[in-house]
Structure 1
Amino acid sequence: MSKTSSDATPENTAPRHPPELLELVASLPALPGVYRYFDAQEQVLYVGKAINLKKRVSSYFQKDHGGTRIGHMVSKIVRMETTVVRSEAEALLLENNLIKTLKPKYNILFRDDKSYPYLKMTRGVPVKINDAVKPAASPVGLSTPDTANSKTGNHLSVNPQQVPRVVYYRGAVDKRHDYFGPYPSVWAVREAIQLLQKVFRLRTCEDTVFNNRTRPCLLYQIKRCSGPCVGLISVPDYQRDVDSAMRLLRGETQEVMGSIEARMMAHAEKLEFEQAAELRNQMSALSKVLHQQAVDTVGDQDVDILAVKVQGGKACVNLAMVRGGRHLGDRPYFPVHVDDAEPTEVLEAFLSQHYLDVPVPPALITSHAVDKELLQALTEQTGVKITAVHNPREQRRVWLEMAQQNADIQLARLLAEEGSQQARTRALVDALDLAPEDLEQFRVECFDISHTSGESTQASCVVFHHHKMQSAEYRRYNIDGITGGDDYAAMRQVLVRRYSKLAEAVRAGEGKLPDLVLIDGGKGQVSMAREVFESLGLDLSRIVGVEKGEGRKVGLEELVFADGREKVYLGRDSAALMLVAQIRDEAHRFAITGMRAARAKVRVGGSKLEEIPGVGPKKRAKLLQRFGGARGVGDASVADLCTVEGISEELAQTIYNALR
């Protein structure tokens, strides 16, 4: 018989846990909910869910987890919070919202990048059969200026809204159109569009292009479009091809083939041999494409295949997609905070975090068994009855083996890349004779100044640690109060702003300086940085300038030190110099883009519009569009401004006064 939470006392639990925490554990209800663990610094350690809070939370404090990831986490717990919910589905939703928000150190985290592409079929307006547009193509299918419809002919009766188009799409779904997917990659969507063009000759052009055609385009000539823009196919016939294409995307392959065959035989019986031949060619093209695309006929329409590989403290979840019976390809995911986690833990973390925001198919094929309670919670949350198979047969086994092989390959590639990145970091540390406490935490901050003849001076600070650039920690600084073009004064200002408060925190034992401060410049810029650091009482050995070599050629840079050491040339093939150049170039890029944006805003006067109370982004966009730019808005009268939607007379007067 297992122990109850009342057994969790200071005698049988490590004494490092406060009595208040153990009392809270013992008093938890046997209800579904979410729990959060905190350390002594009030940092969130872990977020979890449970059907039975009392049973689940007690298990952490009753067992010896040893030196595992969970064991380290439990040893740091000093406080806990719980939230009781009505069902496991609600607990699942709350848990993953908290994980995304708090990013706990001991939860397995997946990047929130679920922007999948879709294939979009625009939905045309309903068309009656007597609205048909007579084909105007020559018998050989090649139109000439004499045979193609002109703007004064049949083309006027063809509205692009009556002729659906197939297009790649990424974004929010609009119920006015039909969407198929999601697809694992852009390549998979492009391939599907090409299939529909080969077989059904559906249009992909924009409505503006459609409206301005007087003869068919190249896609018609190479038999990838049926030319509805110039009336070379009737609207009902085109719509019939659209319906067949949508059925094919849904996996109704045999039904589509049977329908085309029936239409072909009907034309043949009526001695309409040209139409029958067209349908025969369509069947042939469809059969050929399906054979090339290896469409499977195992009865599965929509399936996700999930394979997990864990090695060296890293993990890869490879997601392969089958939609409409077609294997569309796969996509790898690499979670963080894996450490010694088991593959099943990684897989269940992926299921929990991934399918709350992404449509889930009814069938999952997994490399490891999945908790049935988790599947039930996902079913309740998504409204889709979900089943999972981890020991499949026949075609499903082939799919799983492919996914597992891809997971192995992707993880091996990741480990190789990370090994190379770590080698570059180690090379830089050795070259500069640095001694960081932890190579993984080695941090570099690099500064650069950018302006155009003194205009819109900006400074950039980019950050490198964990062996890669950390774009979320980049910062830009607007430089004011200096003589235009004075790069030294600009460097002084940005370094003071960056490190003055940090220096105070370091002296108070609450902050940590970067291990290396790179300055894009030679002796002059380094001297300025040295003065700033001396005034702040900071370590000069952290400052290194990157001085361009002879002819400003890449690979000839020399490193200049603020503490008086001689300049160092690392060598063109040095891994350390490659890393320094990468960081320096990123700082340069980030500074230039910021400077150009600031300069453009000043020159067009956009900043003035942004400062006017009551003029938000939407109204500002309407004003700029109506008057052709900020200068046009400034020249407009109050009456003219009132003609813009959403601009009242009072607001128009405010805008008029603000721009003069």
Structure 2
Amino acid sequence: MVGTVTYRCRHSSRRVSVNRVAPTGTPGFSVLGAPQARLPACAGVYRFLDSNGYPLYIGKSINIYARVRTHLNEARHSQRQQRMVSATASVDCRPTAGEAGALLLENLAIKRDVPLFNRSQRAVRRLWSILLKQSKTGYEQAEIQAFTLDKPDIMAAYGSFKSRHHAREALRELARSESLCPKILGLEHARGACFQRQLGHCAGACVGIESADVHNQRLRAALARHRLSAWPVVGPVLVRETCAEPVAGQPRQEWHLLHNWTYLGTFSSEAAAAQAGVDNTFMFDRDTYQILRRVLRTHKLPLYCADSGEAVNWPDSGVPV
């Protein structure tokens, strides 16, 4: 033993100690827990597991076999990879019908299991955004909000920020660059003219020189390029992903259940997905939002209404991926 690494599990107070030992050879391989001589050369998610079965690293690839071999080869040259491989007892994988499923399952698994070596992807990154609310004076004021599934209406939301602070700073910068009134936007609470007006950088909404209609119009135009893609269909949808020539152990077809930019699971059949329902406690996650936008815009997979089974045409929102 060279040393140990101790970390806390996400969903309990248990601490896990990982022994750093010199590699004794190639770790064992398995597919969904069943031992295999080698990993499949197909799309899917793979897990580097320690001797207790705890995940050290979770990744995805369109070719699991090749990607895991790359990890093992890099351990000869990278100290970080060597530490991870040295603590690895086995590598388990979950084949998917295609890349979309691998992307979604990897993101979910990392946030659920919090592997030690997935440092940058472990945190659930809440989706903070800017909403507009009309005040009694007719001027639209900005509100900063984090979305959850019980408040899913992002039709009039602007921007995807990692914290309330970042959203507020972005709004402050927009006010400076577009001569918008920070007082009207709720960024200042002083009486009389705002500070930017005193510097000549506000068009005068705070002192009644610029009307509510004009200021609102300029505000919406300035925010337009930051607009979030609203969920453009009614209710949850099923995305069907197929593999024309699956290898042994790879599913030929899978169904991904999506609703309001939230990934709710991957299923082997349409019936199983339709019966799963929507988890109203699930939080919007910025990573999931961005993955789903990319999947729905670039993969061009068939979509169906989860309730009726009828085909759904996904509109092009015009928002860049």
TM-score (norm 2): 0.47
More strand by share: 2
More helix by share: 1
Instruction: Work out which of the two has the higher radius of gyration on C-alpha atoms and give 1 or 2.
Output: 1
